[in-house]
């Protein structure tokens, strides 16, 4: 217990127990008279809170309620989440958190985390030193420019680091006192926000790229000086900034980009489970990706690395990868490709025999390539047509089809359609939530490839193993461990990824795999599996008084 007493103790969210303070604690800490007579248990408090959640009029109100509970009593907040993860997750995280970001300034109640604004760029170290608590294991930082699928939210983007860190704690077991959400406020190009009288951010257009990268550099330098061992997670940065930032810092500090690497690891994890069920290892699959943005390339690059891990040469692996953008197949004779796209471009000679005029399109690729895996990160709604899906299903026994684009309305196909067109043979996972499939009178949930399956476990792993880098192999280890946890391996009617209710247990297995890989890669001190298991258990914080 702390040296705080009376109202100070009651209003410290990390230390208060509210009505659960016992008689003797009330006497000892000057709380007598400050609370009603009854002493309640944590369990009773949790049930009371769920009653209050039920009484709210809609999910945004439930989000607001939970956020204010978090600011009032963190132990109780996390006990409430643990009581019903499946119900709580969509309220504190995707999709409701999107509304929380959109209405951030109107809904403002209390500060949390750090707001580092461009006009204060000369005081970055001072601001970091003002952090509420000194010892930090995980920072999640955003600049609010590409929030989920809802674009530039300026300072409202802070909802995302807050939400992600709630999951670092509830799923990954990171002590909430050792987490720090950060918002880099470099302006906003969202006209509605610039006009909003309540807008709480720096009311200014986003700064130039030169100023921006210099600011990010100064921020990283300040973090390295103040918190040299912290895990720094980049979240919801716009595509032109996300990959360059990751490349610039990944070899210099303990860092990763959740949208690029986390999402790719989850897609690869689902692919792992699916390949096992299909009975064809990834290295024997032809993999087609529709979408050549940083997310699509990120997933394909992880697939390529995995094929190499499975024994292929780099060239053999690339020969199994087919990426298409709006213009069709990426080929080396195109002059509109970025460097990371060019690395996957096919030699026109590979497709000459198809006799296609112009760039081959998706229908041509599935016609001429025995594609076992079709992935979509294109936001091209309906791109996986009935004809394309049926062609695939005519060539392989168990086609693996993942329409991963967000939000739901942008998906390349609806799981129910893919299921019907393939007579239930397709192995399906999506990016956004979809209703369950109905098969033989049974409801089968559709696996949703959200990075929440991986980032909390990565945080737990690097904290427990004291890793100093996040390597690509660690992210692939996370994917494999997630794939091994696929419920569909044991039950053909089960989804490809674990249920939300089981995601906390899965995180322990993923964390062990990631920690082991960190040791193998020489980025964490040597430790046996038993030692790593003990460290993971010891790192886990659980909500209890
Ligand atoms: O937050 C989520 O649900 C997934 C994610 O990172 C994003 O869409 O940017
Ligand atoms: Mg994100």
Tens digit of each residue's pLDDT (9 = 90 or more) over 247-290 = 999 999 999 999 999 999 999 999 999 999 999 999 999 999 99
Distance CA 209, CA 240 (A): 10
The pLDDT tens digits of the residues spanning 462-491 come to 999 999 999 999 999 999 999 999 999 998
The answer to whether residues 264 and 478 touch, using CB atoms and an 8 Å cutoff, is no
Question: What's the pLDDT band for 77 if we cut at 50, 70, 90?
Answer: very high
Distance CA 256, CA 358 (A): 38
| Distance between Cα 335 and ligand 1 center (Å) | 32
Atom of ligand 1 nearest to the CA of 95: 3
The structure's pTM equals 0.94
Atom of ligand 1 nearest to the CA of 94: 3
Mean pLDDT value of segment 293-299: 88
Long-range contacts of 432-440 (CB under 8 A, 24+ apart): 432/405, 432/406, 432/407, 432/408, 433/90, 433/95, 433/408, 434/408, 439/493
List of residues 6+ apart from 331 with CB closer than 8 A: 345, 346, 347, 348, 351, 359
Mean pLDDT value of segment 231-259: 95
Write down the ipTM of this complex.
Answer: 0.98
The pLDDT tens digits of the residues spanning 3-12 come to 899 999 999 9
**Is 60 exceeded by the pLDDT of residue 309?**
yes
Higher pLDDT, 295 or 451: 451
The answer to whether residues 381 and 374 touch, using CB atoms and an 8 Å cutoff, is no
The pLDDT tens digits of the residues spanning 95-154 come to 899 999 999 999 999 999 999 999 999 999 999 999 999 999 999 999 999 998 889 999
The answer to whether residues 317 and 283 touch, using CB atoms and an 8 Å cutoff, is yes
Give the chain's domains with CATH numbers. 6-74 (1.20.1370.30), 96-253 (3.40.50.10380), 261-451 (3.40.50.720)
The pLDDT tens digits of the residues spanning 148-190 come to 888 999 999 999 999 999 999 999 999 999 999 999 999 999 9
Question: What's the pLDDT band for 346 if we cut at 50, 70, 90?
Answer: very high
Q: Is 266 in the pocket of ligand 1 (CB under 6 A)?
A: no
Residue closest by Cα to atom 2 of ligand 1: 94
Annotated catalytic residues are 93, 164
Sign of CA dihedral 148, 150, 151, 152: negative
What pLDDT is attached to residue 255? 98
- DSSP run (H or E) holding 469: none
Mean pLDDT value of segment 191-216: 98
Angle value at C-alpha 253, between 251 and 258, nearest 5 degrees = 85
Mean pLDDT value of segment 365-389: 96
Task: Give the residues across from 321 on adjacent strands.
Answer: 287
> Which of 271, 274, 283, 347 lies closest to 310 in space, CA to CA?
283
DSSP class of 346: B
Question: What's the pLDDT band for 83 if we cut at 50, 70, 90?
Answer: very high
């Amino acid at each position: 217990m702390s040296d705080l007493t009376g109202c100070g103790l009651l209003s410290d969210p990390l230390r208060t127990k509210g009505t659960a303070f016992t008689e003797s604690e009330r006497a000892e800490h000057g709380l007598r008279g400050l609370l009603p007579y009854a002493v309640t248990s944590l369990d009773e408090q949790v049930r009371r809170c769920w009653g209050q959640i039920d009484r709210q009029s809609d999910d945004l109100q439930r989000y607001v309620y939970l956020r204010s509970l978090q600011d009032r009593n963190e132990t109780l907040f996390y006990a409430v989440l643990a009581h019903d993860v499946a119900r709580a997750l969509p309220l504190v995280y995707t999709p409701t958190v999107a509304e929380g970001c959109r209405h951030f300034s109107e809904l403002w109640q209390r500060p949390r985390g750090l707001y580092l604004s461009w006009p204060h760029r000369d005081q970055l170290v001072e601001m970091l030193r003002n952090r509420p608590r000194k010892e930090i294991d995980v920072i999640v930082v955003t600049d609010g420019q590409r929030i989920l699928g809802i674009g530039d939210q300026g300072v409202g983007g802070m909802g995302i680091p807050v939400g992600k860190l709630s999951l670092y704690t509830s799923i990954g077991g990171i002590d909430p006192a050792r987490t720090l959400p950060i918002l880099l406020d470099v302006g906003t190009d969202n006209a509605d926000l610039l006009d909003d009288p309540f807008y709480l951010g720096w009311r200014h257009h986003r700064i130039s790229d030169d100023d921006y990268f210099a600011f990010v550099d100064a921020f990283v330098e300040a973090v390295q000086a103040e918190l040299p061992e912290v895990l720094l997670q980049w979240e919801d940065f716009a595509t032109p900034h996300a990959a360059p930032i990751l490349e610039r810092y990944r070899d210099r500090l303990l860092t990763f980009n959740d949208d690029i690497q986390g999402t790719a690891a989850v897609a690869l994890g689902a692919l792992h489970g699916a390949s096992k069920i299909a009975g064809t290892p990834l290295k024997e699959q032809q993999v087609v990706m529709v979408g050549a943005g940083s997310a699509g390339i990120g997933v394909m690059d992880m697939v390529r690395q995995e094929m190499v891990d499975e024994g292929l040469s780099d060239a053999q692996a690339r020969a199994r990868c087919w990426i298409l953008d709006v213009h069709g197949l990426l080929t080396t004779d195109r002059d509109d490709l970025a460097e990371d796209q060019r690395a996957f471009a096919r030699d026109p000679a590979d497709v000459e025999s198809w006799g296609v005029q112009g760039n081959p399109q998706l229908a041509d690729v599935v016609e001429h390539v025995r594609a076992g895996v079709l992935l979509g990160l294109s936001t091209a709604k309906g791109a996986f047509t009935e004809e394309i899906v049926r062609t695939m299903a005519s060539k392989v026994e168990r086609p693996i089809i993942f329409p991963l684009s967000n939000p739901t309305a942008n998906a390349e196909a609806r799981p129910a359609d893919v299921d019907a067109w393939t007579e239930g043979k397709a192995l399906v996972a999506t990016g956004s939530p979809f209703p369950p499939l109905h098969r033989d009178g049974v409801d089968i949930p559709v696996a949703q490839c959200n990075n929440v399956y991986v980032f909390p476990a990565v945080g737990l792993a690097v904290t427990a193993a004291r890793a100093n880098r996040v390597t690509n192999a660690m992210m692939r280890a996370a994917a494999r461990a997630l794939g091994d946890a696929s419920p569909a391996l044991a039950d053909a009617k089960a989804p490809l990824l674990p249920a939300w209710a089981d995601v906390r247990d899965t995180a322990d297995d993923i964390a062990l795999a990631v920690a082991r890989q960190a040791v193998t890669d020489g980025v964490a001190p040597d430790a046996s599996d038993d030692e790593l298991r003990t460290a993971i258990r010891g790192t886990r914080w659980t909500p209890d008084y």
